[in-house]
A = this chain, B = another copy of it.
Amino acid sequence: MSDVPAKTQDRLYQDLARNLLEELASGRYPVGARLPAERELAISYAVSRPTVREAIIALEVQGLVEVKVGSGAYVRRLPGKGDLPGFNITAFELTEARLLFEGEAAALAATQATDEELAQIEGLVDAIARENLQADGAERSDREFHLTIARATRNTAIFDAIEHLWDLRSTSPEAALLHEKARTANIKPVVDEHRAVLTALRARDPNAARAAMRAHLAQVIDSLLFATEERAIEDARRTARAKRARYTQATS
């Protein structure tokens, strides 16, 4: 029935955390309110207190609640979209966001990057070229290339936000798959695009850097589109096979 692989399962604390998350989202516990005591939650949800503690810690790590010793757990902020389970960002949204944000980051980096960082980036461009020859994947250099530019902005918030976007990719299996597919299907131009960004950074030209970065990520979006169509064909084939199977079964 379900499309998800079900993964590890178990993890009772996650169920509880999900439930509490929904209660927060429902507005039952507004900001500043105190959650029921651990012992009460344990009883009402029919779990042990350690499990309750684990769930509350999960919320605490996400900054949703604050635990005060001897007092209770208080709501710090209400859950946003990113906190809701089953929340998936598409590869297109992700790349569009990167196009805008990393474009600006490149522009800023063009005015801030040190010679050392530029040399580092050049090394990464070479590494990307090498990685593309061997098809074993691992776009680690690609990630480092983009993060190094983000770091070169000298703005930790910008770096953190862009790193956050890269991390989001791995939270969505579909997005990760699509990216991998797009990468293997589109090898040659990538190095040139990366080198164009580097050239613009070297020239200390913010507008050129922004344009080069945007062009690169626009190309990535195109690759994603291509990969999507490929997959659409596969899906159609699979559907046809399933259809035929049902027919065969029904008539046998």
Chain A residues in the interface with B (C-beta under 8 A) = 8-11, 13, 50, 53-54, 57-58, 61-63, 66-69, 76-77, 80-82, 87, 89-90, 93-94, 96-98, 100-101, 103-105, 108, 147, 155-161, 163-165, 167-168, 170-171
Contacts and interface: CB of A to CB of B under 8 A. Distances in A.
Nearest to A76: B170
Nearest to A167: B63
Contact of A67 (B8, B108, B168, B170): B8
Number of chain copies forming the complex: 2
B164 A161 contact: yes
Interface of A is mostly: helix
Nearest to A99: B104
A77 B143 CA distance: 12
Contacts of A101: 100-101, 104, 158, 161
Contacts of A66: 8
Contacts of A50: 50, 53
Contacts of A108: 100
Contact of A68 (B8, B13, B77, B157): B8
A160 B73 CA distance: 25
Given A100-B101, A105-B100, A82 B164 contact: yes
Given A8-B68, A9-B69, A63-B167, 9 more contacts: A58-B61, A80-B163, A81-B163, A82-B163, A93-B155, A94-B157, A101-B101, A161-B161, A164-B164
Given A54-B54, A101-B104, A93 B161 contact: no
A97 B155 contact: yes
Contacts of A9: 69
B157 A161 contact: no
A93 B112 CA distance: 14
